[in-house]
Structure 1
Amino acid sequence: MAKSKSLSLFGLIGITMAFFGTVRSVPTLAATGWTSIFYMFLASFLFALPITLLSAEFSTTFPVEGGPQVWVEKALGKKWGFVTSWLLWVQMFFGMVMVASTIGVLFGYVIGKPELASNNMFILATILICYWGITLLNIKFDMVKIAGNWGAVIGVYIPFLFLIGLGIAYMIKNGINPDGYLADFHFKDLWPDFSDLGSLTYLSGIMFIFTGVEISSVHVNKMENPRRNYPVGILFSVIAIIVLNLITGLTVADGVPNGKMELANITQPYLIFLKDFGLPTVLANIVSAMILIGVLTQLSAWVLGPSKSMLKVAQEGMLPPFFQKKTNRDIPITLVLIQAGVITVVSLAYLLIPNVSSAFLMITCTTTILYCIVYLLIGISAIRVRYTMPNIDRPFRVGNKGNGLMWVVAILSLASTLIAIAVSFIPPDIFKASQYPFYIGFQVVATLLMIGLALVIYKFKKPEWKISEVEEERSKAS
């Protein structure tokens, strides 16, 4: 009996589009003005697309749970497989601080106190209260089931479409704003200003839009004719993402006065557009509340997802028994509390850098660096597996025959990933010169510490750490 296929080409496009449909990164894109066109092309076709194609081959060749950890382990061994799973967990420490930082900004507008959006102490307080609150709720209740898909509809899709509509209408009505980021256009504005290296850091934030792009590849085995439909669907999705993000980014860049972009404040362009049309600004409060729901829903999903993946790694003997503790609801309690504790420490960056936009961009870049190291391992593994397992069945294959196209795609992926890592270490132009050492030091220490911890833990792992099948069954029954 033929294996049932349930995912259509349009279904794949819908899943991919839903994953990247967010307004959170729009200010970072808009802050680059006309250069956003170049940055989006680089991020989409030279970064996201190659990684997606490599992931598609891996996920169909090794259709087992584990994703990147399994792929890297098959090519480079258990040590680097563990490093991969570890980095996918610890990058969340920084990523969730970045996501949670928008809560304070949004909440300030919801309660009619927009001045709180730039108050670093208020942002820090809301991060800690909300993240710990969501963590404790997830330990007690199934919050993802409670929130359901309505959180994404209310908090992502509706605000995104509303912002696109407002932005297009604003540009049609006013044309190019002489005080905006798109004023005084010259052809050279389409290219990065390499004399101002600090401006290149925004590329890292834009590439962050596409981190996690490999997730859609897990659906390849459900598709009819994946060799044809998957690349068609992904290419269409990437083009659609470019168009939608550029429309939104350019219209926001046109509306916000040059030099006044608040990277963590997505409510800012809504207010500008609403005031221009003479619409009640209370709509901005409503939109802020909707986006806030979306952010809280996303945080809730991330509280348990990565930690449950790490629990499986721990039970395989990679982490001490202390990390394997879980509640009667299978909540990995130790891992969940550790990640909440580390997120608390990382969020203290808002004390050291009072400027909310600066701290937001710094933490975004750190997340991008850690995720990109995973992509480097995937790129290297993709080439290696072609030679160590040349005859294994590949339902989806990059290139019909030979390894030439695989080399091209992998090299593109490795090159763009290295560029993303390199620019992430450059202090952004919104930082003062006196803050450069702290910015660079933060990135270097965070990166080396996260990788170093993984290597040290692996080196000193003990055989008795591995949980036996009997113990696992006993644990499930208790």
Structure 2
Amino acid sequence: MNSTNNTQAKKKGISIFALAMLNIVAVVSLRGLPAEAEYGLSSIFYYIFAAIVFLVPVSLVAAELATGWSEKGGVFRWVGEAFGPRLALVAIFMLWIEVTVWFPTALTFGSVSLAFMGPHQSWDQALSQNKFFVLGIVLAIYWLATFIALRGTAAFSKVAKWGGLIGTVIPGIVLIVLGFSYLFFSGRPPQVQLSWHDVIPDFSNFNNVVLAASIFLFYAGMEMNAIHVKEVDDAPRNYPIAIAIAAIGTVCVFVLGTLAIAFVIPQKDINLTQSLLVAYDDMFAWAGISWAAPIMAACLALGVLAGVVGWVAGPSSALLVVAKGGYLPRFFQYTNKHGMATHIMMVQAFLVTIISVVFVVLPSVQAAYQILSQLTVVLYLIMYLLMFAAAIHLRYSQPNRPRPYKIPGGDMGMWIIAGVGFSGSLLAFVFSFIPPSQIAVGSPEEYVGFLVVLTVIFVSVPLFIYKARQPHWKDPAVTDFAPFTWEIENVHPGVINPSDKVTHTLNQ
């Protein structure tokens, strides 16, 4: 008895610092830093603005939703409780398809990293601009990541853990340390104006805010760790503190890493796919350790593989849960002996292969990179818009639902936090359709048309699937996919439910 009590007494929840670090590692990526280095010191403003109107609201809103509706389904569950399964299917499909579109852009960075393992920078740059080299490496890394993910949780979690450390954390530290050492000790002038007046963007030039919309994607993914709020001691007090630490830490990594690139690469020479590697090359050459550049390129490529492995498995597994609930045909419910969503992953692999071929037909690798990056932002923001709206709606339709973590300030607090997140997401969504003047993307009309048409297509797919659903799609062997609260009570979504019980206990 005493032993049991001692064990229970020693058992502790996740600490504030541990949760903060968990969120920082989940969100931080070096891949997109060159895009914001275009802005020099004004990137500081954009990073802080996006953190306030997006990162913090996503973290707090997702924490309330994840603890209040912890049944399987994630964002599908949250949106479905508020608005019904049609929009819920749109939300979860946006999460899956935006990752599918994101893979070629992330892997383009991986291919460039491998190109920079060569003997000479000019040779490396030429190879990284070769569309067929990029396409070949993109597909090779992606299919390797898919193979690893299909081996199950144990396999891909190891790759994600060590690849994240070696390919993101260590390179990030090296970039910041070398960048600021270059600034203070090289004796060379920085390639960016160091005046506090430059921190505030020139809003008279509308084009200055267009490319900055991509910063919102930098902060995406914080909702994935919201479920851990239940493991935090004194969550109402400690969770917001952890989120504040994570937000500040994430902003610092992004700001310092972006400035490190801006110190070394002239603004006119910044390339979205190459500049991070060029910056490493230049800083290593200045420090007299040029031999380290290929090693760093290999580390960054490993980091890309680690990130892709995790994102291949995560959204596909979430979509599998929804499929087995009867919202996708039986074909998509097939799993292998490791419990992985084999058919969903294979369909995704086919789509990634097709999308990757776009690199061959667009004006340049950089143009394809920008267009696909913006499409990813658009699709992801649709999911976030639905999530923020659902959080507000559920405060009224299920007011007594137990919420282990609840955004403080009552309904007004929810309106402020989720309202700011919704408004910021909507603003970034609109800006994402405007071609950035800093990057050659071919015809502006074709750029906008490409984004609009693909967005309409991808949003229409889940709507058509929902309309075509059949009763036999639901797997009778699935017993742990709880029905929605309004289904149990035989009412429509949005009807006020006064119950103070969680969903799975309502029909007991």
Q: TM-score, normalised by structure 2?
A: 0.87
CA distance in 1, matches of 2:478, 2:308: 34
User: Which position in structure 2 is the counterpart of 1:158?
Assistant: 170
Identity %: 30
**Structure 1: which 5+ residue stretches go unaligned?**
473-478
Q: How does 1:170-249 map to 2 (within 5 A)?
A: 170-174=182-186, 177=189, 180=191, 182-183=192-193, 185=195, 187=197, 189-249=198-258
Q: How does 1:267-306 map to 2 (within 5 A)?
A: 267-277=277-287, 279-306=288-315
Alpha-carbon shift at residue 465 of structure 1 (Å): 0.9
User: Which position in structure 2 is the counterpart of 1:32?
Assistant: 39
Contact 1:177 1:183 in 2 (8 A): no
CA distance in 2, matches of 1:66, 1:164: 39
Decide which moves more: 53-62 or 301-310.
301-310
CA distance in 1, matches of 2:314, 2:194: 46
1:456 aligns with 2:486: no
Can you list the C-alpha shifts for 1:208-248, whole angstroms capped at 9, x where unaligned?
Answer: 11011212211100010000000011012111221222122
From the superposition, tell whether residues 67 and 57 of structure 1 become closer, same or farther in structure 2 (CA, over 3 Å).
Answer: same
| Amino acid in structure 2 at the alignment position of 1:463 | P
User: Which position in structure 1 is the counterpart of 2:366?
Assistant: 357
Contact 2:148 2:156 in 1 (8 A): no
SS of equivalent to 2:269: coil
Alpha-carbon shift at residue 290 of structure 1 (Å): 0.9
Alpha-carbon shift at residue 146 of structure 1 (Å): 5.1
User: Which position in structure 1 is the counterpart of 2:491?
Assistant: none
Alpha-carbon shift at residue 200 of structure 1 (Å): 2.3
From the superposition, tell whether residues 232 and 286 of structure 1 become closer, same or farther in structure 2 (CA, over 3 Å).
Answer: same
User: Which position in structure 1 is the counterpart of 2:103?
Assistant: 96
Contact 2:42 2:200 in 1 (8 A): yes
User: Which position in structure 2 is the counterpart of 1:427?
Assistant: 435
Alpha-carbon shift at residue 184 of structure 1 (Å): 7.4
Decide which moves more: 242-251 or 415-424.
242-251
Decide which moves more: 364-373 or 107-116.
107-116
Can you list the C-alpha shifts for 1:322-380, whole angstroms capped at 9, x where unaligned?
Answer: 22223233332221111011111211221232422222122111111111111111111
CA distance in 2, matches of 1:431, 1:353: 13
CA distance in 2, matches of 1:263, 1:57: 36
| Amino acid in structure 2 at the alignment position of 1:126 | I
CA distance in 1, matches of 2:48, 2:479: 51
From the superposition, tell whether residues 235 and 87 of structure 1 become closer, same or farther in structure 2 (CA, over 3 Å).
Answer: same
User: Which position in structure 2 is the counterpart of 1:117?
Assistant: 128
**How many pairs align?**
467
1:437 aligns with 2:445: yes
User: Which position in structure 2 is the counterpart of 1:256?
Assistant: 265
1:64 aligns with 2:103: no
CA distance in 2, matches of 1:186, 1:284: 32
User: Which position in structure 1 is the counterpart of 2:393?
Assistant: 384
| Amino acid in structure 1 at the alignment position of 2:356 | S
Contact 2:160 2:310 in 1 (8 A): no
CA distance in 2, matches of 1:9, 1:185: 36
Contact 1:120 1:354 in 2 (8 A): no
Contact 1:177 1:255 in 2 (8 A): no
| Amino acid in structure 2 at the alignment position of 1:294 | G
CA distance in 1, matches of 2:243, 2:479: 42
Cα-Cα RMSD: 2.3
1:82 aligns with 2:94: no
SS of equivalent to 1:132: helix
Contact 1:314 1:323 in 2 (8 A): yes
Q: Say which of 333, 349, 352 aligns to 1:343.
A: 352
From the superposition, tell whether residues 326 and 184 of structure 1 become closer, same or farther in structure 2 (CA, over 3 Å).
Answer: closer
Alpha-carbon shift at residue 407 of structure 1 (Å): 0.9
CA distance in 1, matches of 2:303, 2:12: 31
**Structure 2: which 5+ residue stretches go unaligned?**
481-508
Alpha-carbon shift at residue 145 of structure 1 (Å): 4.6
From the superposition, tell whether residues 138 and 62 of structure 1 become closer, same or farther in structure 2 (CA, over 3 Å).
Answer: closer
Alpha-carbon shift at residue 191 of structure 1 (Å): 3.3
From the superposition, tell whether residues 13 and 206 of structure 1 become closer, same or farther in structure 2 (CA, over 3 Å).
Answer: same
CA distance in 1, matches of 2:221, 2:188: 34
User: Which position in structure 1 is the counterpart of 2:402?
Assistant: 393
From the superposition, tell whether residues 413 and 281 of structure 1 become closer, same or farther in structure 2 (CA, over 3 Å).
Answer: same
SS of equivalent to 1:216: helix
Contact 1:13 1:236 in 2 (8 A): yes
Contact 2:175 2:260 in 1 (8 A): no
Alpha-carbon shift at residue 444 of structure 1 (Å): 0.8
CA distance in 2, matches of 1:6, 1:305: 24
CA distance in 2, matches of 1:164, 1:470: 49
CA distance in 2, matches of 1:289, 1:385: 47
Alpha-carbon shift at residue 287 of structure 1 (Å): 0.4
Alpha-carbon shift at residue 166 of structure 1 (Å): 0.2
| Amino acid in structure 2 at the alignment position of 1:22 | S
Q: Say which of 13, 16, 25 aligns to 1:9.
A: 16
Can you list the C-alpha shifts for 1:158-212, whole angstroms capped at 9, x where unaligned?
Answer: 111111110110111257836x2x237472x333344543432321222111011
From the superposition, tell whether residues 353 and 201 of structure 1 become closer, same or farther in structure 2 (CA, over 3 Å).
Answer: farther
Q: TM-score, normalised by structure 1?
A: 0.92
User: Which position in structure 2 is the counterpart of 1:476?
Assistant: none
1:108 aligns with 2:108: no
Alpha-carbon shift at residue 29 of structure 1 (Å): 2.1
